[in-house]
Amino acid sequence: MAKTLIHAVVLGGFSMATAALLAGGNLVTAPEIELRQSEDLQTSLSQVLPARLYDNKLLADALSIAGGDGTPVKVYRGLKAGAVTGVAYEIAGNGYGGEVRLILGLDAEGKILGVRPLKHSETPGLGDKVDPAKTDWITRFTGRSLGDPDVEKWKVKKDGGDFDQFSGATITPRAVVGAIRGGLQFFAAHKAEILGPAPTTASRENP
């Protein structure tokens, strides 16, 4: 009995000490980590929303709109003189190696300013050609919109659409083109909300 008690005390002591250490570590690192993450987000947003289009803080002026499957989509809006000039949000498709997450930037008319992959685990040498570091395939969407081509042509050529897949890989381009099509449809469905009045200056200055 006494022995069991010792074990309990030892393990309990260890648990408390490690919990205290972890809590302390979290307190120290949490603000830094948050800062790094918003830097990362800012970097990926700047790839699809040219800086000349807006003069506000993108991260502070984000909207949350329920997407097609009910999950909220964070829409970052670029504003100039109070009017929405460009928006960016995350889209995703199912690739060969799991989810392919991309960021899509559109101007106020719904024309694509840019698309960039954020995270993917596609096969090296095949599906990873969506990565702008490997090929410039992903840049072909710039300037396109839902009418250009028509919605039923927003597919890879193999499925009767307008966009080239790349040699040896169809699943990844299919996922990417599908995700962009979904993103454009999302914009069309929520245009009023997305382009709605800008938040007041007061709320913008207190992120």
Question: Could you list the residues that contact other proteins (CB under 8 A)?
Answer: 6-7, 10-11, 14-15, 18, 21-22, 25-26, 28-29, 32-33, 36, 39-40, 123-126
Tokens linked to 102: 């991309």
Closest approach, Cβ 18 to other proteins, in A, equals 4
Of 31 and 160, which has the nearer Cβ to other proteins? 31
Residue (of 113, 121, 52) closest to 87 by Cα position: 113
CA angle 62, 64, 69 (to 5 degrees): 145
Nearer to other proteins, 28 or 151 (CB): 28
Judged by beta carbon, residue 40 or residue 193, the one nearer other proteins is: 40
Q: How far is the CB of 30 from other proteins (least distance, A)?
A: 8
Q: What is the DSSP string of 71-139?
A: -EEEEEEEEETTEEEEEEEEEEEEETTEEEEEEEEEETTS-EEEEEEEE--PPTTTGGGGSTTT-SGGG
Nearer to other proteins, 37 or 201 (CB): 37
Compute the least distance from the CB of residue 35 to other proteins, in Å. 8
Count how many Cα atoms sit within 13 Å of the Cα of residue 61 in the half-sphere of its side chain: 29
Q: Report which of 67, 96, 79, 72 is spatially closest to residue 184, judged by C-alpha positions.
A: 67
Question: Based on CB atoms, which residue is closest to other proteins, 126 or 188?
Answer: 126
